[in-house]
């Protein structure tokens, strides 16, 4: 199948590379010529596991890069639209990029094509795309608009694409459904998984993945509702963590107790400093806005957002309660990316926290395995960038853990203690066991669990935050 993918951001690039790996002929289109040249020359613009391998084996053969949208549409049977839908001031999704692509596509349709929304868009977008294409003079018999939402997590996007829990295609005609079925046949027929060069199968993979065929409107809603539900799970457990702190319970134990109920499940119940990234904050807001526009006041989502915001403030209060005033204090920060496994810092709660700490006059030395370059574009030289966790901890009044990178969960704690001026760790991601931290000589603050203190240190010393 010949496929055009419009937009070479996270979604477009991963989808394009994966479609090519499934055996399709893919043209990835973007009007950013320098990006296309860089991709052609072998550069990989994002930090994404297995993407370099996929690009290397398909680049120049089954995967081409172009800035000529019309030509790509002409030669393709399906056109996936994966351009950005950033939030407007009022929280709605800005669909102007989608509209301009729809307009451009319409001029190039000379035989039957399926135009597929891949970007996260509000319900009714497919109808608008259809109207725009018709308005520009295209014969209604020559195209259908379908919706094929993505459920890719950054960092594991390639695996999520090739080993999905489900594939959702929203189609209002059997003709368009047929095209999409064929595109995903290597996965739904499981032939892809038998190939020697297929990427490694993750735990819990459902093979073959189910294909769910819905109307386009339902598919659009599935995407928003999935992200809103996952965000709600995170806010729910963050709220429970706050109650745990008030009553002296342990949120990890609570998560274990509720997550083992198969109706609830334990995934996406990790408390922390709130969700971030380019999806949840934007999509919860956009879903809220689209519901309101269509007459439903989805107040539950207001609370999801409110709890998320509050979670950062609670963490900042913890820093204050550990260190009292912050002016002139040196803080080591581990993590700037919005989550582990990615260099993405968009809507990162870690960045928001760092900015608040800077406002309070603290001096920050931060380390992130992948996110520092991007962080520098936002924070500039207001902080110092370290080459390792230990360098970030050096001579700091406390060490803050803000991103759930695996390497932060496996630190040499003896070395961390030696580097720190005071053995205080404030962990926004619950990467360590409070008792084990106390045994290692730390005062350890985390989320939804009691603060632990170094074994055998008098309370007065602790209150002053002095070295054990």
Q: Which residues are catalytic?
A: 279
Q: Is 268 in the site for ligand UGA (CB under 6 A)?
A: yes
Paired sense of beta strands 330-334 and 63-66, if any:
unpaired
Return the exposure string of 322-341: e unless at least 16 CB atoms fall within 10 Å of the residue's CB, then b. Answer: bbeebeebbbbbbbbbbbbb
With contacts defined by CB under 6 A, name the span among 189-197, 269-277, 354-362, 430-438 that binds ligand UGA.
269-277
Contacts of 278 (CB under 8 A, 6+ apart): 10, 154, 344, 346, 347
Q: Does 280 bind ligand UGA (CB under 6 A)?
A: yes
Q: Nearest approach, Cβ of 356 to ligand UGA (angstroms)?
A: 17
367 sits near ligand UGA (criterion: CB under 6 A): no
User: Does residue 152 interact with ligand UGA by CB under 6 A?
Assistant: yes
The minimum distance between CB 429 and ligand UGA, in angstroms, equals: 8
Residue 435 φ then ψ, to 5°: -65, -40
Calpha distance 129→117 (Å, rounded): 9
Q: Is the separation of the CB atoms in 360 and 354 below 8 Å?
A: no
Candidates 97, 112, 128, 151; binder of ligand UGA (CB under 6 A) is 151
* Strand positions, DSSP E, 296-431: 330-334, 363-367, 384-385, 398-401, 424-427
Taking CB under 6 A as the binding criterion, the range among 54-62, 264-272, 375-383, 452-460 that sits at the site for ligand UGA is: 264-272
Interface with ligand UGA by CB under 6 A: which range of 55-63, 244-252, 268-276, 316-324? Answer: 268-276
Contact present, 340 and 155 (Cβ < 8 Å): yes
Q: Give min distance, CB of 234 to ligand UGA, in A.
A: 4
Q: Kindly state whether residue 272 participates in binding ligand UGA, applying the rule CB under 6 A.
A: yes
Exposure b/e, 105-142, CB count within 10 A at least 16 = b? bbebbeeebbbbbbbbbbbebbebbbebbeeeebeeee
**From 87-95, 248-256, 263-271, 356-364, span contacting ligand UGA (CB under 6 A):** 263-271
CB of 328 to ligand UGA, least distance (A): 30
Interface pick for ligand UGA out of 19, 338, 385, 445 (rule CB under 6 A): 338
Question: 314 to 333, contacts with ligand UGA by CB under 6 A?
Answer: none
Residue 135: which residues within 8 A CB-CB, separation 6 or more?
A: 106
Please give the residues from 380 up to 419 whose contact with ligand UGA meets the rule CB under 6 A: 404
Window contacting ligand UGA (CB under 6 A); options: 193-201, 278-286, 371-379, 406-414: 278-286
Judge whether 115 and 86 are in contact, CB under 8 Å. Answer: no
47 is an interface residue for ligand UGA by CB under 6 A: no
- Please identify which residue in 48, 154, 368, 397 interacts with ligand UGA, judged by CB under 6 A: 154
227 binds ligand UGA (CB under 6 A): yes
Nearest approach, Cβ of 396 to ligand UGA (angstroms)? 23
Compute how many residues bind ligand UGA; rule: CB under 6 A: 22
- Our finding on whether 357 is near ligand UGA (CB under 6 A) is no
- Interface of this chain with ligand UGA, residues 70 to 129, rule: CB under 6 A: 120
281 or 454: CB nearest ligand UGA: 281
Which residue in the set 50, 65, 163, 275 belongs to the binding site for ligand UGA (CB under 6 A)?
275
The secondary element (H helix, E strand) that includes residue 178 is helix 174-188
Residues 6+ apart with CB under 8 A from 389: 332, 334, 367, 407, 408, 411, 416
Contact 5, 26 (CB under 8 A): yes
Q: Tell whether residue 311 is a contact of ligand UGA (CB under 6 A).
A: no
The answer to whether residue 235 forms part of the interface with ligand UGA (CB under 6 A) is: no
Taking CB under 6 A as the rule, does residue 423 contact ligand UGA?
no
The C-alpha angle 119, 133, 167, rounded to 5 degrees, equals 35
- CA distance linking residue 173 with residue 145, whole number of Å: 9
Give the contacts of 410 (CB within 8 A, at least 6 positions apart): none
Q: Which residues 171-200 are close enough to bind ligand UGA by CB under 6 A?
A: none
**In angstroms, what CA-CA distances link 327 with 248, 275, 331?**
31, 28, 11
Find the shortest distance in angstroms from Cβ 20 to ligand UGA: 20
Name the site residues for ligand UGA (rule: CB under 6 A). Answer: 120, 150-154, 227, 230, 234, 268-270, 272, 275-277, 279-280, 283, 338-339, 404
């Amino acid at each position: 199948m010949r496929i055009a993918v419009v937009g070479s951001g996270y979604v477009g690039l991963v989808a394009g590379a994966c479609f090519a790996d499934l055996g399709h002929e893919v043209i990835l289109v973007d009007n950013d010529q320098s990006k296309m040249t860089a991709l052609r020359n072998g550069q990989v613009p994002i930090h994404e596991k297995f993407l370099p391998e996929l690009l290397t084996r398909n680049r120049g053969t089954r995967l081409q890069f172009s800035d000529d949208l019309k030509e790509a549409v002409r030669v393709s049977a399906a056109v996936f639209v994966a351009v950005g839908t950033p939030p407007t001031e009022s929280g709605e999704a800005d669909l102007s990029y989608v509209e301009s692509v729809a307009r451009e596509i319409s001029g190039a349709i000379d035989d039957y094509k399926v135009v597929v929304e891949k970007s996260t868009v509000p319900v009714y977008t497919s109808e608008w795309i259809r109207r725009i294409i018709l308005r520009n003079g295209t014969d209604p018999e020559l195209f259908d608009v379908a919706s094929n939402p993505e459920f890719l997590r950054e960092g594991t996007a390639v695996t999520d694409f090739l080993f999905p829990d489900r594939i959702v295609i929203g189609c209002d005609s059997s003709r368009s459904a047929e095209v999409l079925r064929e595109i995903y046949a290597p996965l739904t027929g499981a032939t892809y998984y038998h190939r020697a060069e297929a990427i490694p199968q993750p735990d819990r993979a459902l093979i073959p993945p189910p294909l769910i065929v819905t109307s386009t409107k339902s598919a659009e809603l599935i995407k928003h509702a999935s992200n809103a539900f996952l965000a709600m799970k995170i806010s729910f457990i963050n709220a429970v963590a706050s109650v745990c702190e008030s009553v002296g319970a342990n949120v990890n134990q609570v998560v274990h107790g509720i997550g083992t109920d198969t109706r609830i499940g334990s995934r996406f119940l990790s408390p922390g400093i709130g969700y971030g990234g380019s999806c949840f904050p934007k999509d919860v807001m956009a879903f809220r806005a689209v519901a309101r526009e269509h007459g439903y006041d989805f107040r539950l989502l207001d609370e999801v957002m409110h709890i998320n915001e509050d979670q950062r403030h609670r963490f900042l209060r913890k820093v204050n309660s550990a260190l009292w005033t912050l002016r002139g204090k040196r803080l080591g920060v581990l993590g700037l990316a919005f989550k582990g496994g990615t260099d993405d810092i968009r809507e990162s709660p870690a960045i928001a926290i760092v900015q608040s700490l800077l406002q309070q006059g603290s001096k920050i030395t931060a380390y992130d395995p992948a996110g520092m370059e991007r962080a520098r574009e936002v924070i500039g030289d207001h902080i110092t960038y370290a080459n390792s966790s230990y360098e970030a901890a050096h001579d700091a009044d406390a060490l803050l853990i803000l991103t759930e990178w695996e390497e932060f969960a496996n630190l040499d704690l003896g070395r961390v203690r030696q580097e720190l001026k005071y053995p205080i760790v404030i962990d926004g991601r619950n990467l360590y066991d409070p008792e084990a931290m106390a045994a290692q000589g730390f005062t350890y603050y985390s989320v939804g669990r009691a603060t632990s203190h170094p074994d055998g240190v008098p309370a007065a010393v602790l209150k002053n935050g002095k070295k054990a």
